[in-house]
Structure 1
């Protein structure tokens, strides 16, 4: 018995020696790696009601927090990631990715409305070819996905800068008008506007009003006054800070908390229009 053990040991050493001589190396295990999928700009994630998006890895459900850091832990190497609507199990996006140890791999999903398809976007390079706005100006590309509560065949958007003076009085100043706003991001074009920010003002935001492009009449809220977005965008609080002042925005509808004068009534429910930043450079 002892002799058999010695022979087995010798054979194992011989095999290992031959393998080393040939320079062969077989990795004894595969590393676990984190890859991130940012779903914050999907209506399935951000709709004011619930999170309706989940993930599968190589056909199996996997832990993923679309409302958190978006990280998924998997083994290194090629894998298929599927994202599905939890309400009906329908796959809304899928991709094949070679997950690499030590690489920071982050992927971004975009879906402006629940009825829109989910697509992958590249916020780092999407506006790389667009020239910076001149000093004192901003470039805006705007798309309107809030058409369900805006009854205009052509919608113009008034851009307003809001800030406070030295006595903390609220100041609203018109910046300009974007005419005939596109109904999708891929159909929109950049518009150059003055930034409207007085010297010395560092805390400001942009808000929007909606105008009938045919009649010139403003969109009214439930209270009968001009409707304007309560959620604007604030370039100086973005991270990283936009250096080119080039922005792509889109408008979406979100259900309000209840009956209120500043909301828009549509049927039996009340809504608001939110402006969201897709790209900022």
Structure 2
């Protein structure tokens, strides 16, 4: 009798345990994930010529987020996303997001130079802007290359460069941007003629900047002693192709491969002023 009772108890315990395991297994197997995208392409920690130095922690743990594919897969609900400098582990930006099922969240980070803070910006910032008038471009520009430009106030001479039907280079001045600001937040839109020839050449046209001291009218000189200029941007090379012809640009200092007359020498190192596109619509 005792053996029978004991066996009955054992069978009940096993059944209860099996049922519990099956129930727990069912709950754990049901997981709904949501893709969240963090675009860090416009951060100096991501784009600096030396390596990718930005990483992501999700709720305090290192994640599988890769700055090149931008995607991290997480469970719905509130989560803390911390971006850090992989060289020292220091947090450079963080954001708490209530992730909703069935959504595809996208966030954009901006850091023009290594010394600048990392900030979240709205990738749709230009959506409400009216298009540039026909035959014109609308440009907002910020100067983060102040270490190479020794002017208290900066003007830009803007030209368009292209090759004609005989493959001769044509550089035509189209206007100027006065008193360039030192941050995107302070910059304002300027409307300039687009300068495009008719018909359009086979090789895409590009806009060229020259740098002028607002107070003296003197140009910024390169290592060769002539006016420094840079190939700023080519709208036809942007994907998707801008429709409203509105551009937010920012300029940074970039170390070059070595000595050459068109570059700018600072100390024993040679640099160029690179123009990056933050937004194009």
Normalising by structure 1, report the TM-score: 0.87
Q: Verify: 1:269 aligned to 2:254, yes or no.
A: no
Does the aligned pair in 2 maintain the 1:250–1:276 contact within 8 Å?
yes
Give the structure 2 partner of residue 112 of structure 1. 112
SS of the residue corresponding to residue 229 of structure 1 reads: strand
Does the aligned pair in 1 maintain the 2:34–2:104 contact within 8 Å?
no
Give me the whole-angstrom Cα distance separating, in 2, the residues matched to 1:9 and 1:64: 43
Displacement of 1:55 after TM fit? Answer: 1.1
Displacement of 1:280 after TM fit? Answer: 1.1
Does the aligned pair in 2 maintain the 1:30–1:76 contact within 8 Å?
no
Measured at CA, do residues 51 and 27 of structure 1 come closer, stay the same or move farther in structure 2, by a change above 3 Å? closer
Displacement of 1:260 after TM fit? Answer: 1.5
Point out the structure with max Rg over C-alpha. Answer: 2
Q: Verify: 1:192 aligned to 2:194, yes or no.
A: no
User: Could you give the per-residue CA deviations for residues 65-99 of structure 1, whole angstroms, max 9, x where no partner exists?
Assistant: 21x11122333332111001123221110011233
SS of the residue corresponding to residue 185 of structure 2 reads: helix
Give the structure 1 partner of residue 94 of structure 2. 94
Q: Verify: 1:214 aligned to 2:215, yes or no.
A: yes
SS of the residue corresponding to residue 113 of structure 1 reads: coil
Q: After superposition, where does 1:127-142 map in structure 2 within 5 Å?
A: 127-142=126-141
Give the structure 2 partner of residue 165 of structure 1. 164
Q: Structure 1: where are the runs of 5+ without partners?
A: 16-25
Normalising by structure 2, report the TM-score: 0.87
Q: Verify: 1:154 aligned to 2:153, yes or no.
A: yes
Give me the whole-angstrom Cα distance separating, in 2, the residues matched to 1:236 and 1:249: 15
Q: After superposition, where does 1:3-82 map in structure 2 within 5 Å?
A: 29-66=30-67, 68-82=68-82
Give me the whole-angstrom Cα distance separating, in 2, the residues matched to 1:90 and 1:6: 56
User: Could you give the per-residue CA deviations for residues 217-237 of structure 1, whole angstroms, max 9, x where no partner exists?
Assistant: 11111111111114x212122
Structure 1 stretches of at least 4 aligned residues deviating more than 6 Å after TM superposition: 5-12
SS of the residue corresponding to residue 229 of structure 2 reads: coil
Does the aligned pair in 2 maintain the 1:250–1:277 contact within 8 Å?
yes
Displacement of 1:45 after TM fit? Answer: 0.9
Give me the whole-angstrom Cα distance separating, in 1, the residues matched to 2:49 and 2:149: 19
Give the structure 1 partner of residue 239 of structure 2. 239
